[in-house]
Structure 1
Amino acid sequence: KSAKYDFNLVSNFHEPIAGVHEIEYLLVHVRSPPIFQYLLTFVRTWAQRVGLYGRVYGYLGGYSWAILCAYICHRFLSPIKSLSSIEQFSIEEFFSLVQQFFSTFAHFNWSANALRLYPKSYKQNTLAGRSLAQSRGSVRIISPSTPFNNTGRSTINSTRDLISEGFERVVQLLTTINTITSEDKWNALKQILELPHEFPSEKVKSILQLTLSSDSTDALHTWIGWMQSRLAHFLNDCEEECHLSIQTQSSIEYRSKNTEAFYSIGFHVDPQSLNQHRYFSYWLKQFLDQFNLFPQRTESMKVSHKIICIHDWKLERMQPKPQRIKK
């Protein structure tokens, strides 16, 4: 049975990959670009749905996920010699590729090793002096194109652990369900994409909620962009300077006809401890002061924050308020 029909049922596999110029450097490694596209679209959809996608929030961006998929295709996919062999690529073969993806990276030692996918022309001395660029970030996925930077440099230890846990959740899921027949495998792929986004996780005890508002949608988007551009430094400060474990929300919530937005960061300590944390208070103030430096800020652009417990955060979402939309 051809996988082409089943792919469209599971996700939008027919959509082309776009937006990353460096994708061309990966195609020489993937053995079959069409199958690589199917795998990447599946993995990208999963990462977005479970909240592990987005460099601005400390997770992996599209190019990093593409490198991971290229690595799996190169290792486990046989060379495709003709278009007919692509048409005959079965759901069983695709399921095996997906299974190898999650199993490989669930067992990868991200804290100690870097994942590399270099072009054939790569020479070891090419990386002389690049150790600093490669060491940034807790997940090290080295770009195969010059200057061979770490594409996962936005990650921190907390988000690295969440990504690893995401891989492990899929591996555990596949050990608890039948994957014998083609129908079983198709259902397993659907269940992977139906895994819930667990924010906040059970480890989170308090939430820092930011509220941004403006008098127009365009101004609010600009305001949010400024916040996102300053977020990485704050997340690093929370972990490196305050020694706090965190979980970042991977989306923005909109309300009041898209003129008000909310963004939340979860912490593994209770609100009282977080409020009394001297270093956290200092770095939070530094982060909030950055909003005053926005050169295009208008009087309608406002920002506020509060630290609340998980119970209150969830209770707010149960109240009959204007509908929130995640983007």
Structure 2
Amino acid sequence: MADKKHHRQKTMVTGGGGNNQSYQNNNSSNQQQPFNQQQQSSNIGNFTKKSYPKKNYSQFKNQDQNQIKQNSVFDDPFEESSYLKFLMSERYHIYEDIAAKERRYEALQKLKEIINQWQIDHAVNVRKINQQEAQKRQSCLLPFGSYEMGVHFPDTDMDLICVFPQYILQEDFFNTFKTFITSQKDVENVIDVVDARVPILKLKFMGNQIDLLYACIDPKLLNEQVKIQKIIKDEQVFNKLNQVSQNSLNGLKATQNLIKSVPNPRKFKIFLRCIKLWAQRRGIYSNTFGYLGGISYAILVAKICQDHPDLELVDLVHKFFEVYSEWKWFDPVFIKIGKKKDNTKLDLNKLQVLDAYSQDIMPILTPNTNPKNSAYRVCQLTFDTICSELYRGKQILKQLAPSTLKVIKQPDEQEESIPQTQTDNQEEIKGGDLLQQQILTTSTISLPKKICWTKLFQRFRFFGNYNHFIRVDVLSTDESGHLKWQGYVESQLRRLIQLFQDVEQIQGLRIYPRALSRDETRDTMNDQFKCCDSYFIGIKFNETGSQASVNLREQVINFCNFLEIGRVTKQINNVRILHFKKSELPEELIEKY
């Protein structure tokens, strides 16, 4: 492997790395701080795990600012982990309250009733199934993904699989059922995405965004005595399903395998929430735009949990950035699934497995016996962005060392600088993070100046880091077809990024991973269209491009020609692509994002 060249070696991150076997020895040069003999210790990799009495993060709620200042450098990993949980809960509010959980549960129960009502009526009236038989073989509604794992945020959508008897066809689901559920109370924004790798029916129900997947199995297996979760474990039964059903149920299988593969599910969930928070704040959480999605981050986190089962939360976070900032991405990331006595394991030399990632830039394999690359949408530019953010996180955590690695440095020792953006400094100066400022400016601690945990989660201010932007306006004269048109354009924007990356004068590109409304952009150019949602691509030109005009017309025309294939209605839907300088954008937009 040492001489292996790879087409993905162009990256913003330099330095050594190691993968499955080698990365566990990366920090061999780190020195350990001496500790009390009464504290028990055990070596895990290159960390020294200490035993301390566990503390609850709620202790920070009642502390005044002076006490919080004293906690900027912690004595033990349990206390620092508690502080990290406190930040996630009380500062960033990533947990749902009881009322929101109850509303989600109520929505699921009502949605299940609606689906069963339609299935029975359709089976009896269209498929001519006996009424009693149709009522006996009711459908199943199975959650998977972040909601099933219990790591969802308050605004996260729910991924659900509708498992029907085989006499309910896929076209029935995406046509008849779509019409039926659109007419139901509390249902809005129903969109079918049938040309995706896994066809989805998107809708908003009782205020919850929901993605519905279709699957069907033998009607004899649909009864109260048999659980679908047990059925899909049987590979012989699973392989007899049609390909559409297998693709849909693979998400549920991956969710189950993830939870069962980690040594401590509770620690895994908190760890994953922390990494998801970081990814969202840094603008690299979106499978649609070519970044990583929830399943990819879950696999990366599970890998660290498997390889380092005894580390505390703060040490796991440190290890996450240390490992993946140096990962050699011609090797895939995958986790061990199944017990030792099981035959369920991943053979990377199988042709079927090699085909799953051989042409991809960032292979992160799903934990199934027939894996797929969950990061197949990552392109070269988004790959570079992800790597640069991982490198930034690693450099921050070098200064914010885990408690098990903290060493008092001499004043003349120099630390490697953290790559800062313009807005990293701006956010500190503007006073938006009072807690962080008070910690950073404290003089009551004799240790060298440290960075607070909030530095890791600082939001990437997109418009503060670029001077040129491409704005893609998705336009419609009618609301009914706008959402589907917008979803199609959004899913293809990474193609425009790939077209731009071949322009010599362009040094860097980054897409903002969500649409901005007309009110946010202060749009006045598209008044003839009732609906307008805008996407922004930040561009950095090299010295040649900054001193001369750059013509991107050819790339824009090619992208528009491609969009014409999926254009729903020419009289209703349109797209407009424009160039803006930062000075031409509203000040409110620049300050907010």
Instruction: Name the TM-score class by shorter chain.
Output: 0.7 to 0.9
Q: In the aligned structure 2, how far is the partner of 1:174 from the partner of 1:68?
A: 18
Check whether the contact 1:211–1:305 (CA below 8 A) recurs between aligned residues: yes
Indicate conservation of the 8 Å contact 2:299/2:335, yes or no. Answer: yes
Match of 1:44 in 2: 276
**What is the aligned counterpart of 2:347 among 119, 124, 135?**
124
2:382 counterpart of 1:163 = no
Alpha carbons 2:474, 2:489 under 8 Å: kept: no
Q: Structure 2 residue aligned with 1:284, among 556, 559, 575?
A: 556
Q: Does 1:17 align with 2:240?
A: no
Matched residue, 2:514: 251
Measure how far apart 1:154 and its partner are: 0.8
CA contact 1:44–1:65 (8 Å) conserved in 2: yes
* CA displacement at 1:107 relative to structure 2: 1.9
TM-fit CA distance, 1:60: 0.4
SS at match of 2:456: helix
- Which deviates more, 170-179 or 53-62? 170-179
Q: 1:8 to 1:24 in 2, by over 3 A?
A: farther
Residue identity matched to 2:573: M
**How high is the TM-score relative to the length of structure 2?**
0.45
Q: Distance in 2 between matches of 1:264 and 1:220?
A: 19
What is the TM-score of this pair, normalised by structure 1?
0.77
- SS, match of residue 108 in structure 1: coil
Shift of 1:274: 7.4
Within 5 Å, give how 1:2-81 maps onto structure 2.
2-3=55-56, 5=58, 6=82, 7-11=85-89, 12=93, 14=95, 16-17=150-151, 19=159, 21=252, 22-78=254-310
Q: 1:123 to 1:30 in 2, by over 3 A?
A: closer
- What RMSD over aligned residues (CA atoms) do the two structures have, in Å? 3.5
Of Structure 1 and Structure 2, which has the larger fraction of its residues in helix? 1
Q: Which residue identity lines up with residue 513 of structure 2 in the other structure?
A: S
Per the TM alignment, residue 284 of structure 1 is displaced from its structure 2 partner at its CA by 2.3
* Matched-pair contact (CA < 8 Å) for 1:139–1:152: yes
Given that residues 331 and 363 in structure 2 are in contact (C-alpha distance below 8 angstroms), is that contact kept between their aligned partners in structure 1? yes
Is the alpha carbon distance of 1:136 and 1:251 closer, same or farther for their aligned partners in structure 2, counting shifts above 3 Å?
A: farther
Q: Which runs of 5+ in 2 are unaligned?
A: 1-53, 59-81, 97-149, 153-158, 160-250, 339-343, 405-434, 440-450, 521-529
1:113 counterpart letter in structure 2: D
Range 4-13 or range 260-269, more displaced: 4-13
CA distance in 1, matches of 2:592, 2:518: 7
Task: Indicate conservation of the 8 Å contact 1:213/1:260, yes or no.
Answer: yes
Deviations 1:140-169 (A, max 9, x none): 111121421211111112111211111121
Q: Which residue of 1 aligns with 2:427?
A: none
Distance (whole Å) between structure 1 residues aligned to residue 397 and residue 281 of structure 2: 18
Q: 1:207 is paired with a residue of what secondary structure?
A: strand
Q: CA deviation at 1:299?
A: 3.5
Q: CA deviation at 1:48?
A: 0.8
User: Would you say the 8 A contact 1:13–1:38 is kept in 2?
Assistant: no
Which is further off, 228-237 or 51-60?
A: 228-237
Once the two structures are aligned, what percentage of the paired residues are identical?
A: 20
Tell me, yes or no, if the aligned pair for 2:400 and 2:453 is still in contact at 8 Å.
no
Are residue 225 (structure 1) and residue 487 (structure 2) matched? Answer: yes
Gaps in structure 1 of 5+ consecutive residues: 79-91
SS of 2:462's equivalent in the other structure is coil
CA distance in 2 between partners of 1:197 and 1:267 (Å): 15
Instruction: Supply the AA of the counterpart residue of 1:154.
Output: R
Q: CA deviation at 1:37?
A: 0.8
